[in-house]
Structure 1
Amino acid sequence: MRPANQIISVERLNQYMHIPSEATQVVEGNRPPASWPVAGKVEIHDLQIRYRPEGPLVLHGITCTFEGGHKIGVVGRTGSGKSTLIGALFRLVEPAGGKIVVDGIDISSIGLHDLRSRFCIIPQDPTLFTGTVRSNLDPLSQHSDQEIWEVLRKCQLQEAVQDKEGGLDSSVVEEGSNWSIGQRQLFCLGRALLRRSKILVLDEATASIDNATDLILQKTIKTEFANCTVITVAHRIPTVMDCTMVLAISDGKLAEYDEPMTLMKNEKSLFGQLVKEYWSHFQFAES
């Protein structure tokens, strides 16, 4: 490593040492029941988010309700606040005002571990860690080999893992680079299947994968999470066309929240405009 890079490493360490700590991992006097959340109902009340104490609001008082078991599509243009809303659900950033209530519990009142361990997310950039297939799917060793193999079968990864010499103990190198991007995304799906949370978040999970993998992902989610609340941040508009409701965000404000077909019929709706733009770009690319 060059000396210039070495001193940058020191600067980074110094920077990280002075980052304010997150909230408490566990609030002993206020822990949710072991079964929480049961229904997966998410109520957002006048939610306001800013990234710096003196900075401008990024979300301007969003209010809506995701009913338990519904499939919610979150759409909007780049920079509208879609990912910020998801970050608020996991408390990556704390509200400047308002609150999020899940099955009757204000998520700001409980510890971060109790919150984040009860939700599942399949991110846009799939992440694997150095170790084994087993440790990536079940890092806390809470599940049997049979359960892990069943999940791999549902994710259509069983053959790929069986072909490896070590099976479940086959290696995963740094950042999972010995697996394809599509396979890494399906591993993330496998983690979610093992966790069995009532709330699943897809943060533009199909943005960087091929159509075949996208089809596997969507079909498995539709089957295995049929009774769960699924919140999808949309990159490909067709992925939210069969959602129960669509939440459209514009400049950090709730632009519309309704059934997708109802919004499609409204020529002035933001969702309708996004659908038209998507198909015009798609047809242009095809030609």
Structure 2
Amino acid sequence: MAEANPFKGNKISNLVSLKLDDKNFKQWKQQISGVIRGCDLQKYITDPEIPEKFLTEEDRIAGTINPLHQEWEKNDALICTWILSTISDSLLAKVVDHTFSWQVWDEIHRHFHTLLTTKARQLRSELRTLSKGDRTVTDFIQRVRVINESLISVGDPVPLRNLIEIVLDALPEDYDPVVAAISSKSVSVSIDEVKSFLLAHETRLEKNKKQSLTDAATVNLAQTPSLPVSSQNSTGETSQPPNPSFPSGSSHITANGSQGGDEFHRGGRYGRGGGRSGRGGRNNSGVTCQICHRNNHDASICHYRHTGTMPSYGYRPP
């Protein structure tokens, strides 16, 4: 009895909407496996039942082929062509040397077993070493979801309880209170519930951080020293804070262009009160200046020494 044509009355070529590539093996297999079961194609693809090519030794010698085998080969050729039509061009090179549908099926599964095993190992490694770091709770949980969904797509899902433990272990010390609260629950929580707890704690941490910054700024402002203000002494003269640019005992040019030092601040050019003292406290009474020819000071502290001019009054030769 001849095998029924599996394609007769069935347009199975339109029942698979995906082209197999490196990213959609699970989805592709789900669709194509449904067609295989629905059209009773297991005996060709997943569990091949191949009739004997020759029924007797005499048939082998005579070259008489079993009609059932001939019918099986004809149907298998159609099925193999159909499977190949659902595979993207990038993967066809991997099965180009295979003839029968079960050979194509096995080679595709062998390739993706190696590929998905490697990918699952990488995803699980990333999940184990994942940490929240500087990411927000929303970004952190989103990354956990992406990794978990990728593991599901390659057929290696992580149990929910293990996933929650991985999430809690990836949190910094600031989240210890919420970690303790979730860990103490007697019933399992979903990833959405964990996200809700973490978001509430994140909001509180941000609020406390802003308050700490405000308090620190207030303390710094209160501790900032005020600038010294000028005051008047008992004689009505205004005293200014010492100028750090001029060390004690040094001479400098004053605002009116004259040279001054400590003696100028203490009492004018020649000292305040009593005798007129000169530079360094020397007593110059009876001394005549070599520049202006006035008495009671010498040339080292003479005003005209620095102005470059001579007095206009009567000149007295030395």
TM-score by length of 2: 0.19
> Normalized per residue, which structure has more strand?
1
> Normalized per residue, which structure has more helix?
2
User: Higher relative contact order at CA 8 Å, sep ≥6: structure 1 or structure 2?
Assistant: 1
Give 1 or 2 for the bigger CA radius of gyration.
Answer: 2
